[in-house]
Structure 1
Amino acid sequence: MYIAIEGIDTAGKSTQIELLKQEYEKNIIFIKEPGFTKFGEKIRNIIFNDNISKKTELFLFLADRAETLETVIKPNLNKKIISDRSVISGIAYAMEFFDFNMLVNLNKFATDGIFPELVIILKLDKETLSFRLSQKNHDNIEKRGIEYLLNIQDNMVEACNRLEIPYLLLDASKPVDEINFRIKKVISEYMDID
């Protein structure tokens, strides 16, 4: 079972993943995009810090996704996997610049058609996003602005709908423990965890 937790920057994915790790680290393999592999770490650094074109960025994300798929996801498909981001955010972010169908085909090639079986999307309202962004330094993606990031949230939902991948939409402005409870509930419904 392969589940992805998605959300734009500052939605709280990392916080929720850390809470899940504390409870399920023995039963579930946790990964992230980009930067889970050694190769991916180099790609992550380039994407978030270097001045590169949108097309180069797209191909770097695809390269990272392909490497993670080959080295981690494929060999463990019979196990339980939770990913911090996935093909869904890859498509959602790139949809602002490129054709959806082309992006799906590129991602199918990069992943051999292996997409998450369930997606949990943490969604922020504009006010909460504005506040959280004001509390941190911005990487290259965050510098594109609030409206861009809000569009990405809608793109995540659209991508799940168009790809017919089941998803759960959660209000990311709610208390951390309430979100964690909802996530654990849906994970327990999909994954048989000892």
Structure 2
Amino acid sequence: MSALNPYRPGLFISLEGIDGAGKSTQLQAVVDVLRAADREVVLTREPGGTEIGEKIRDLLLHQTMRPATEALLMFAARQEHVLQVIEPALLNGVDVVCDRFTAATLAYQGGGKGIPTERLDALARWVHPGLQPDVIVLIDVPPEVAAQRLAQTRQRDRFEQESVDFFVRVRANYLQQAAAAPGRWLVVDGTQTPDSVQKIITEHLSNTLQVVEAK
């Protein structure tokens, strides 16, 4: 069983950060660390991860909607994702590496768009009661830096086109979440080189695996 979450044997790791933080660059590095330790790994993403989830993802990224609708769709996709992919993998001893999870909804739809935290928390308790990532890696960058990176992207989705002020609020919410649960979160300065960011993440996960294997 996982020393971090004894009711299931698999490790659940999510990567978080505002758009342009460089999160996607580090996903494969996380997978590589786990596989190097002879662990089976599933790499997935939110919103998405299932056939229904990917259809909802397309709506969320490209269709204008009210913030409440956005939040409800996020959790609808997450319900399918948890039941079809995440929980079955974890219960079978397979590690799950997820590009975003509920922390992103709290940051984007809560911090960024003003949906009350208690409403989002209630949805989280309904959709995945008792299930949280064992490790949440937040790649943190100032919104101005992220905006410069996104400006080099030819096609940007609806979220990537949000204002710097929006991402200031999202970042602040992420950092509040991390400060409230420091044992679960790893905050990495994303203004460093990708290799430096990867080294910090790799060392943290290696230490985590040592704790798990010692139990």
Give yes or no for TM over 0.5. Answer: yes
Cα shift readout 1:81-127 (whole Å, capped 9, x = no counterpart): 22110110111111132111221111121112311122110011243
* SS in structure 1 of the partner of residue 77 of structure 2: helix
User: Residue 17 of structure 1 corresponds to which residue in structure 2?
Assistant: 27
* SS in structure 1 of the partner of residue 133 of structure 2: coil
User: Residue 74 of structure 2 corresponds to which residue in structure 1?
Assistant: 61
Task: For structure 1, list consecutive stretches of 5 or more residues without a partner in the other structure.
Answer: none
Decide which of 124, 143, 149 is 2:167's aligned counterpart: 149
* SS in structure 1 of the partner of residue 98 of structure 2: strand
Question: CA separation in 2, counterparts of 1:118 and 1:125?
Answer: 22
Distance verdict in 2 for CA 1:165–1:101, change over 3 Å: farther
* SS in structure 1 of the partner of residue 61 of structure 2: helix
Distance verdict in 2 for CA 1:75–1:35, change over 3 Å: same
Judge conservation of contact 2:29–2:202 (CA < 8 Å) in 1: no
Question: CA separation in 2, counterparts of 1:126 and 1:55?
Answer: 24
Question: CA separation in 2, counterparts of 1:21 and 1:168?
Answer: 16
* SS in structure 1 of the partner of residue 54 of structure 2: helix
Asked which structure has the greater CA Rg, the reply is 2
Question: CA separation in 2, counterparts of 1:15 and 1:163?
Answer: 25
With the length of structure 1 as denominator, give the TM-score of the two structures. Answer: 0.90
Judge conservation of contact 2:138–2:188 (CA < 8 Å) in 1: yes
The alignment status of 1:176 with 2:194, answered yes or no, reads: yes
Cα shift readout 1:43-81 (whole Å, capped 9, x = no counterpart): 110001112221111111001111111011111223322
Judge conservation of contact 1:19–1:180 (CA < 8 Å) in 2: yes
The alignment status of 1:80 with 2:118, answered yes or no, reads: no
Q: What letter corresponds to residue 108 of structure 2 in structure 1?
A: Y
Greater CA drift, 152-161 or 173-182 = 152-161
Question: CA separation in 2, counterparts of 1:104 and 1:165?
Answer: 20
User: Residue 46 of structure 2 corresponds to which residue in structure 1?
Assistant: 33
Q: What letter corresponds to residue 157 of structure 2 in structure 1?
A: D
Q: What letter corresponds to residue 127 of structure 1 in structure 2?
A: E
Question: CA separation in 1, counterparts of 2:88 and 2:146?
Answer: 37
Judge conservation of contact 1:107–1:113 (CA < 8 Å) in 2: no
* SS in structure 2 of the partner of residue 142 of structure 1: coil
* SS in structure 1 of the partner of residue 167 of structure 2: helix
Q: What letter corresponds to residue 73 of structure 1 in structure 2?
A: I
Q: What letter corresponds to residue 86 of structure 1 in structure 2?
A: F
Question: CA separation in 2, counterparts of 1:179 and 1:163?
Answer: 21
* Offset at residue 174 of structure 1 (A): 0.7
Matches within 5 A, 1:98-177: 98-136=115-153, 137-162=155-180, 166-177=184-195
User: Residue 7 of structure 2 corresponds to which residue in structure 1?
Assistant: none
With the length of structure 2 as denominator, give the TM-score of the two structures. Answer: 0.82
- Count matched residues: 194
Q: What's the C-alpha RMSD, in Å, of the aligned pairs?
A: 2.1
Distance verdict in 2 for CA 1:117–1:22, change over 3 Å: closer
* Offset at residue 160 of structure 1 (A): 3.8
